[in-house]
Amino acid sequence: MIRLSTPLGAEVLDLRAGDRVLLSGTIYTARDEAHLKILEDGFPFDPAGAVLYHCGPVVDTERNVIVAAGPTTSARMNGLTAPMIDAGVRSLIGKGGMSAEVREALSGRAVYFVFTGGCAALAASCMELVDCHYPELGMAEAVWEIRVRDMPLVVGIDAHGRDLFEDVARSVRERYDQLRL
Amino acid sequence: MDPLLFERLAQAVEEAVREAEIVLPPDVETALRRATDRETNPVARGEFANILDNLLKARDLRVPICQDTGIPVVYLTVPPTVPVTAELYDAVAAGIRRATRSVPLRPNGVDPISRENSGDNTGAGLPPVHVVPGNVLRVMVLPKGAGSENMSQIRMMMPSQVSDIPRFVVDVVMTAGARPCPPVVVGVGIGGTFDGAAALAKEALLERIDSMDAYEQEICDAINALGIGPMGLGGDTTALAVKVKRGFCHTASLPVAVNIQCWCCRRGVREVVL
């Protein structure tokens, strides 16, 4: 296991698709609406070395705690991601993989991590709520600033153009052609 | 309806939702543990470790397993002594509203066009309530997440295509890839009408997944031969189980529906004392 802490720098360039990582530090949730808001009104935080988490958490707003916070499908953010990387974001966390366009945007600059889909309780257990930005977007779409400790991740797309999802998809197509049904 | 019965039914719905959201049924957890033991891919083993760790954390902390607490689909067994009235449906909706606050659930229910959120997981047609006759008043809740629901498909096949059904099911899972949070459970509805096949596919997801017949096993083996693996990162298990339900159909029809469920195959059951 590789240990990393935020803000992230050039160390992400050493990561390879398939590496397992424990991430500590500050991350920011951002789904579709948050991306659009950031593109319009700017970042409510310093994007240099930042980590975006594709997640719409369940937050107990009375006690100020994250109740459940697994990843959402990253592909919805495909068309909105390149400007984030241009602004200095060093990594994304999500599930399901992203497009070739995102793979190119990451090249030489940033990585895409996968956090196991559905593991909301595990995520919440390593998180501490710090702040909420753009609360008017609602609970699922707001930008939640979260401190994490040892969040277990896998590198899905590295900064050298290797994409685990693309590798698997290629092998799945080969295996499908050999199926006898 | 007796106000006390209304109250008990609403409470049973609330408790069934809570149980479903926090603890997976034992047969599902067993299937996940078996898949973990069999897994040979190191990345997939890591994903399974996270899934099992997550189940423990949810149980210990009494929090939902997944933040997509889903859309509640309700199956109600109703005995002859309980009349099926509008109040019966009202009591179910009341239970869903309470669960939304107390579990808590993410408010997921929106108007399909305006996308306006009701805030309490109820609205026109929500929750869907399926009433079946029985001997006791029992509620079963199936919280259905969108990631897997969105990957589901229905096809009006031709009666001459019976032998193509397994390939259609495999195609649906392959097209879904990483998106429905594999390892998935695959509900298949064969026969009935256009809507009936979809209903059968969803009902198939209510069944225990620790046993399969030869037909289900054949399809499941074919899916697992693809190697999509947990979260689409590659691995030996892509489907924990395939469950098939059949219904008589028109001689000129062969509707086939495939309803995909994520690994978080939630069900909650409560019986209501009359």
pLDDT tier at A139, thresholds 50, 70, 90: confident
**Domains of chain B: which residue ranges?**
3-23+65-144, 147-261
Say whether residue B68 is in contact with chain A using an 8 A CB cutoff: yes
Task: Tell me what pLDDT residue A170 has.
Answer: 96
Contact B107 A139 (CB under 8 A): yes
- CA A23 – CA A112 distance, rounded (Å): 13
Chain CA centroid to CA B135, Å:
24
Helix (H) or strand (E) holding B96: helix B86-102
Decide if the complex's ipTM is over 0.85: yes
Catalytic residue among A35, A54, A133, A160: A35
Residue B233 and residue B43 in contact, taking contact as beta carbons nearer than 8 Å: yes
pLDDT tier at A58, thresholds 50, 70, 90: confident
Average the pLDDT over A132-149 and give the result. Answer: 95
pLDDT score of A68 more than 90: no
Verify whether residue A133 is a known catalytic residue. no
Chain B from 2 to 41: CB within 8 A of any A CB = none
Å between A118 CA and nearest CA of chain B: 5
**Domains and their CATH numbers in chain A:** 2-177 (3.20.130.10)
Task: Give Cα separations from A115 to A122, B131, B153, B254 (angstroms).
Answer: 10, 38, 27, 40
Contact A139 B51 (CB under 8 A): no
pLDDT score of A111 more than 90: yes
pLDDT tens, chain B, 274 aa long: 899 999 999 999 999 999 999 999 999 999 999 999 999 999 999 999 999 999 999 999 999 999 899 999 999 999 999 999 999 999 999 999 999 999 999 899 999 999 999 999 999 999 999 999 999 999 999 999 999 999 999 999 999 999 999 999 999 999 999 999 999 999 999 999 999 999 999 999 999 999 999 999 999 999 999 999 999 999 999 999 999 999 999 999 999 999 999 999 999 999 999 9
Average the pLDDT over A139-157 and give the result. Answer: 96
Contact A117 B147 (CB under 8 A): yes
Which residues of chain A neighbour B46 with C-beta distances below 8 Å? Answer: 20, 152, 154
Q: Which residue has the tokens 């693309």?
A: A166
